[in-house]
Chains A and B, each alone.
Chain A
Amino acid sequence: MKCYLISAKWCPACLIMLQRYRAFFAHQTDVDITIIDYDEEPERVKEFAVGSTLPVLVVYIDHQETQRIIGEKSLKQLQRIFSI
């Protein structure tokens, strides 16, 4: 599973979710997360057509986008989303 996390350094929800995603996927060796900085990489951000709420986790399986998780989510919500 390939994930792109679009986040900004000044955004508190991004600060929280960066660590939460890392912890959530810590034991899943098949998950690769690439962080894209909203301010430093505007061209890459454009490719993902993100809306006004950060952060955005875009999930790809077999090169197909399968999920888009927007904003702050609790651990329980992540467990529901990923059916863990």
Chain B
Amino acid sequence: MIYLDYSATTPVDRVVLGQFYRDVKTYYANPNSQHALGKEVQAKIARSQSRLSQLLAIQNHDVIYTSGATEANNLALLGWARKHQSSGMHLITSPFEHPSVTACFSQLVLEGYEVDVLSFDADGRINLEHLAQLIRPDTTLVSIGAVSSELGIIQDVASIHHICANHPHVVFHSDVTQAVGKIQLDLNLIDLFTLSAHKFYGMKGIGALIKRHDIVLEPVLFGGSSASLLRPGTPPAPLIISLTNALDIADAEHKSRIETVSRMHELLVSRLKEIRHLVFNSNEHSVKQIVNISLPGREAKAIQEALSEHDIFVSTQTACATKQHRSEQVFRLSQDEARATSSIRISLSHLTTESDIDQFVTVLKKVAS
């Protein structure tokens, strides 16, 4: 089996899984309980959260644990927009967002908000002049993902921060789900950011919204005070601890992981160039973990299925938006229907081997011929 869909999800790290198994058996008490075991679990969560803040190098930020990035994005966007409705109902986003971000903006439009979608350059980087022009007195939020999930394009977070910082009434939200563990990012430049552990070899079912202390949100879930008023429910202590553990390992192994991925990326790109008519959709601004290509004339689904028959797994689009037969992001960037309907995303990991790439390209050549 050759798995090349690591941007959809990653296998859980063995160490993370082993510790999770032990923690499930040890820290099963409700951290909201006032007995000694509950307090012990509460203390364990607090230590884990403190270590998370240290690993992310953030100051003045609160961590709100969620079931993943989708829930975190909903809380950040709906929670901010609704809470600050009286200050303004104008919001700004990019066309390269994860469906959980775009869907929140669509919901807010139905509630009467106005949402502007940013223009971009030929490489898919947000037009910063356009961003500066779009901000109005009634703008309250700008949401731009640090790395796009389909094309892997890295946005200029520092410049976006500087533009937003000139307007104290505007907060900057970024979905950093595809960035964590892949690129170095100064997260203090972002007012609210969202992430999910299963993208960096952690467990599924745990993510976080991390926001500046002074940012006030309206809850989207109700159920009383727990770890946070913004996220009721019994905190899943073993999952919370596992998120920090996954990030700890990602941090410790960052250099070696990036070296391996860079090597695999270089090999993959050079081998793919052997295939006639193949077009690259990702570019030099993309993370090394994501290579998006098109084989114009072939249907993306057919390519995916043909590869799958050989036990090779890639994705056609973001896994959450597969109902359309073309990639909106590739179409938006290329304005080419043939490229958009034939695009596949190959996503690499430090677990990818030269043999994986060799077998993948060999099969893809047959599919393309």
Contacts and interface: CB of A to CB of B under 8 A. Distances in A.
A10 B326 contact: no
Interface string A32-72: 00010011000000000000111000000000000000000
Contacts of B369: none
Interface residues of B, number: 24
Nearest to A39: B323
Q: Could you say which of A8, A9, A10 has the most chain B C-beta atoms within 10 Å of its C-beta?
A: A10
Nearest to A38: B323
Interface in A9-45: 9-16, 18-19, 35, 38-39
Contact of A12 (B320, B325, B328): B328
B281 to A, nearest CB: 16
A10 B109 contact: no
B117 A52 contact: no
Interface string B98-114: 01101101110110001
A73 to B, nearest CB: 13
A13 B325 contact: no
Contacts of B97: 12
Interface residues of A, number: 18
A8 B326 contact: no
A13 B106 CA distance: 10
B297 to A, nearest CB: 16
Contacts of A9: 99, 102-103, 106-107
Interface of B: 95-97, 99-100, 102-103, 105-107, 109-110, 114-115, 117, 320-321, 323-326, 328, 332, 341
8 contacts: A10-B103, A10-B106, A12-B97, A13-B328, A13-B332, A14-B106, A15-B109, A52-B324
Interface of A: 7-16, 18-19, 35, 38-39, 52-54
Chain A to chain B: the 3 pairs with minimum beta-carbon distance, closest first: A10-B99, A52-B325, A9-B106
